[in-house]
Amino acid sequence: MSLDRTAICDYFLSLQDSIVTSLEHEDSKRFHEDSWKRDGGGGGRTRVLLDGVTFEKAGVNFSDVSGEFSEEFARQIPGDGRSFTACGISLVIHPRNPFVPTVHANFRYLTRGSRAWFGGGVDLTPYYPFREDVIAFHKIWHKACLEHSNVANYDKLKNWCDEYFFLPHRNEPRGVGGIFFDYLDSNLDEVLSFVKKCGNSFVSSYLPIVKKRKSHEYSEAHKEFQEYRRGRYVEFNLLYDRGTIFGLKTGGRIESILMSLPLKVRWLYDYQPKLGSREAELYDVYLKPKDWAREV
């Protein structure tokens, strides 16, 4: 089955517009926009906000690229031949206040030869978590999956997320998870409906948390812990993230690929949280996979 690729790209462009508009309502700064062309085929539209009041760094990217895989990389991707197309949206938001979590989402459509599929996901990375926020976030994605249960099994996608956003060298998750999927190619019309449901649910999954926590008082020690934990984000994105690897392997625009990295980050030597502290709670309670969507 073939889909209207132009219509899919148009949806991702409109989703970028709506998310950026919503984020700008929460901040005093506007996003900077770069439209770019890619050597080899296609291009994109990158939008980045730096050093805002609410968001220290936020990026919402659209790309629509085509070309040929290298022989080596082609062996890792489904399909036939070396020609490919890929379009999608990718976003990462790093808040200023340590009590507001970082969030990531991406949704993409790829083709290679006779194969076509969707991938994507969304996950939350808190520094000082609030139980009700984590539960509310997961319930949004549980609901999205239930509405499209013939193509999106929530338990599978939730577990896939927990397994994917994991740092083997640290033996710990990056955050509290969400959903993750790739190579969804059965019943593409329904998968597209599911992807649209996810894209349209992003703002309602994240901005209520931002509104509740963005004015929370914090100290320099809170900020230092946030920057320390951001180091885990950097490590994952540079070592394991499929989008980063895909962009680098296909000659993508480096500034857009690395927009996911935080503005400020630190690595401390042999850091150990104080027993019973909020920092220790992150490790002891939240960095352990749990079925948050079914909590009350």
- pTM for the model: 0.94
- Rounded to 5 degrees, what angle do the CA atoms 113, 119, 125 make? 155
User: What pLDDT does residue 10 have?
Assistant: 98
65 DSSP assignment? E
User: What pLDDT does residue 71 have?
Assistant: 82
User: What pLDDT does residue 256 have?
Assistant: 87
Contact 36, 5 (CB under 8 A): no
**Dist. CA 246–CA 53, nearest whole Å:** 32
Q: Which helix (H) or strand (E) holds 91?
A: strand 83-95
Contact 114, 164 (CB under 8 A): no
Q: Which positions ≥6 away from 224 have C-beta within 8 Å? A: 266
Take residue 97 and report the two structure tokens written for it.
């206040």
Residue 114 CA, distance from chain mean position: 28
Q: Which helix (H) or strand (E) holds 135?
A: helix 131-146
Contact 38, 253 (CB under 8 A): yes
Contact 29, 218 (CB under 8 A): no
**Which one, of 105, 94, 21, 17, lies nearest residue 54 by Cα?**
94
User: What pLDDT does residue 1 have?
Assistant: 53
User: What pLDDT does residue 296 have?
Assistant: 84
Residue 173 phi, psi (nearest 5): -70, 160
User: What pLDDT does residue 74 have?
Assistant: 75
CATH number of the domain encompassing residue 191: 3.40.1500.10
Compute CA distances 99 → 94, 219, 272, 288, whole Å.
11, 11, 20, 19
Q: Of residues 25, 32, 94, 104, which has the active-site annotation?
A: 104
Domain holding 200, by residue range, is 5-294
Q: What is the pLDDT along the chain (296 residues), one digit of tens a residue?
A: 569 999 999 999 999 999 999 999 999 899 999 999 988 889 999 999 999 999 999 999 999 999 888 888 878 788 888 889 999 999 999 999 999 999 999 999 999 988 999 999 999 999 999 999 999 999 999 999 999 999 999 999 999 999 999 999 999 999 999 999 999 999 999 999 999 999 999 999 999 999 999 999 999 999 999 999 999 999 999 999 888 988 888 888 888 889 899 999 999 999 999 999 999 999 999 999 999 999 98
Provide the number of structural domains found in the chain: 1
**Dist. CA 148–CA 76, nearest whole Å:** 28
Task: Give the DSSP letter string of 14-37.
Answer: HHHHHHHHHHHHTSSSPPEEEEEE
Confirm whether 104 is a catalytic residue: yes
